[in-house]
Amino acid sequence: MTDKNEWGSNLSFVFAMIGSAVGLGNIWRYPYVLYSNGGGAFYLPYIIAILLMGIPFLILEYGVGYNFKASFAKAVKKIDSKYEYLGWFLPVAVFMIMIYYSAILGWDGIYMILSFTKGWGADPNTFFTTTLLQSSGNYLHLAHFIPIIAIAMIIGWVIIWFISHRDLESGLGRVSKLLVPLLFIIMVVIVCFSLTLPGASIGLAELFNPDWAVLSDFGIWMAAFGQIVFSLSLGMSIAFTYASYTKDDADLITNTISIALANSLFENFAALGVFSILGYMSMQSGTAVADLVTQGTGLVFIVYPTVFNVLGDWAYILGPMFFLTVYLAGLTSILSTIEPLSFSIQNKFNLSRSKTMTILIIVGAAISMIYATSFGGDLLGFVDTFINQIALLFGVIVECVIFAWIFKADKLIDFLNSRSKTIKLGKWWILIVKYILPIFISIIWIGGIIDVVNSATITQLNFTIVSAILLLGASLVFTLLPAKNPDWDNACERV
């Protein structure tokens, strides 16, 4: 049977969820966000964002997901059939993330191999942008195909298929229990090594040096809330789907706390590693840490290779370990991005898990080939900005409103509390999920849109519009196609 969507144990659920949360954002985004938003002082808004938003929202998403024991689209339709469209919007948006994440995974795979010989040469910057990505900034170069990237990406898709098309527990469940602890162990080894490098303390002093004045800056608070949404994969229908796969006796509140804690632990650990390395580099090169620090692909594929170039023989061990960490972090996240859409399709069209996964992976892999072109790197940046700053946050607000207001989160309180061995929910939780969350996220969302509109070029705006049309169109198609499953209208509620 290849159709089972249930975790074998609570541990599988928790590890898979940590695997989804701990991703590239923890490695390449968080250290930069922490540094550029007041250093040590950032912890105040960060902790408030976790307590006020991360944990309460995750409990909401888990609670409703658990209640329905059904896919996101099916549950939203059940809550109110007028909103079925919104039930497809988020799973499709998350699937779009999957498609471009596969390109980053591919690049990282290539670097993992290169790191055995420092194959990026003396100038990692030129190597990444010109030699590997052949970045042209010209959309006409979508026709210029880069086979090596395509091959690396296809290998990633095959690995994903191998894990995802099986029953949930024998694929994703088992793999998460193996890879997530492995990821943490390798990370600890890398960070411990980095901390012993000469100059590490320079980097760490730069990182944590608190700038309390920034606390009065609204932007810092937005950065903290934005980081938590992204890092915990909040409101993306992933947590919902994972909770709907749980058995009947899950303690969701305690699970939420463990997951949020593990995620924060990992990203703060990553920050120690990144800034120790930057401190070392700063000492070797005489360049100030402030001039070295960056985020995103620049950090992983340019700054790190540059550091490995000056690190001598240790780099032949540290390099492969580092790119493996990034690969594992990316893989366990990407595996989560297919689940909401896959489960929704299984529910509506009565397809088996294995067939749905196979079809989605073939479609995803085919579309992802646009990223294996000379315009791929630029396109990836545009789509990422659109999805993260505009589409997902919109989905998050919608989810919050549908779950807290229309579904009425209040009715989950007694049930969630009866299972909880730690915190008990009270009126404060309702206040947060009904009022504070939607308001805060709306503010971040509007800020993000203004930011995109102000800074985008014409090419970027055009591709943003195309991405939006594809997202809206695909969601519409899934909504309009007639259901093949007689059970589509009867979501089973557990509470």
Residues that bind ligand PHE (CB under 6 A): 20-21, 23-26, 94, 97, 230-231, 233, 236, 238, 333, 336-337
Distance spanning both ends of the chain, measured CA to CA = 28
Residue 495: Cβ within 10 Å count: 12
CA distance 94 to 279: 36
CA distance 387 to 364: 16
User: Residue 44 CB, nearest distance to ligand PHE (Å)?
Assistant: 21
User: Residue 78 CB, nearest distance to ligand PHE (Å)?
Assistant: 24
207, 34 in Cβ contact below 8 A?
yes
User: Residue 487 CB, nearest distance to ligand PHE (Å)?
Assistant: 28
Residue 476: Cβ within 10 Å count: 14
CA distance 23 to 9: 23
User: Residue 103 CB, nearest distance to ligand PHE (Å)?
Assistant: 15
Residue 472: Cβ within 10 Å count: 14
Compare residues 230 and 478 and give the one whose CB is closer to ligand PHE.
230
User: Residue 328 CB, nearest distance to ligand PHE (Å)?
Assistant: 12
CA distance 19 to 135: 31
Query: Which of 359, 314, 364 lies closest to 337, judged by CA?
Result: 364
Q: Tokens 């303690």, residue?
A: 251
Which H or E element spans position 466? helix 458-480
Compare residues 26 and 136 and give the one whose CB is closer to ligand PHE.
26
Compare residues 37 and 420 and give the one whose CB is closer to ligand PHE.
37
Compare residues 20 and 354 and give the one whose CB is closer to ligand PHE.
20
Query: Which of 98, 101, 96, 104 lies closest to 133, judged by CA?
Result: 104
Compare residues 242 and 280 and give the one whose CB is closer to ligand PHE.
242
367, 97 in Cβ contact below 8 A?
no
Compare residues 180 and 416 and give the one whose CB is closer to ligand PHE.
180
Compare residues 100 and 127 and give the one whose CB is closer to ligand PHE.
100
User: Residue 236 CB, nearest distance to ligand PHE (Å)?
Assistant: 5
User: Residue 415 CB, nearest distance to ligand PHE (Å)?
Assistant: 27
